[in-house]
Amino acid sequence: MNRWILAARTEPANSHVVINGAIMMVEKLHKNNENVPITLVAREVRVDTKQENGVVSTTPRFAEFRAQVETQISQVVEAKLQDANSKIEQLTNALQEVQSKAEMSHTSLANDLGQMREEQAFTQKKIAEVETSVASNGQQIIAQMQNMFTQMQANMEQTVKTLVNDPDKRQKTEGKNDPFAQKA
């Protein structure tokens, strides 16, 4: 059985109510509004206990109980403080360890970055050297090729001249006798 609590300003007219098509039974919620004060009274009771030296203790039992409770509370508080202090010490050690690791990582990163910058500067220097070398070598190659073409042209012209002026060369005959001549 499910129970629901509904609030109303007045009591319902019937002991059963229909909500969403279901019949519900109405029960009044009983509140206990009576506050009964609790009063503690401590009495002093004389306890006659003989101690070793023969002195009679006249401290009230409440004072003895209070001293016991204070001792127990102070022991618990001391234990809790020791636990808290040990946890604080552990956290302090962990924090120092994290800080030292962070410093080491930072130092390592700075060293790596410095080394990378040095290598980058060295690489840029070498690239500049290669660029100047390529530029000078390219111009030398172009000059050599121009000289070779000029020399080749001069050699070809000289060869053509010698072939044209060569007396042992076969002379051109009329087109009728030459089987390779163009036909008119």
| Tens of pLDDT, residues 18-69 | 888 888 888 877 666 666 566 666 666 555 555 555 555 556 677 778 888 8
Average pLDDT, the chain: 81
Position 84 in a domain: yes
**Confidence at 6, pLDDT banded by 50, 70, 90:** confident
Position 92 in a domain: yes
Q: What domain count does the chain have?
A: 1
Give the pLDDT confidence of 76-115 residue by residue, as tens digits: 999 999 999 999 999 999 999 999 999 999 999 999 999 9
- What Å distances lie between residue 179 and 73, 101, 169, 183, CA to CA? 136, 98, 18, 9
Query: Looking at residue 154, what is its pLDDT?
Result: 93
Largest CA distance in the chain: 170
Reduced to 3 states (helix: H, G, I; strand: E, B; else coil), residue 18 is strand
Position 115 in a domain: yes
Position 42 in a domain: no
Q: What is the pTM of this model?
A: 0.35
CA proximity to 65, closest of 87, 95, 42, 83: 42
Position 69 in a domain: yes
- Distance (Å, rounded) from C-alpha 135 to C-alpha 166? 46
Position 55 in a domain: no
Position 121 in a domain: yes
What range defines the domain where residue 100 resides?
63-131
Position 58 in a domain: no
CA proximity to 104, closest of 96, 115, 93, 114: 96
Rg (CA), the chain: 59
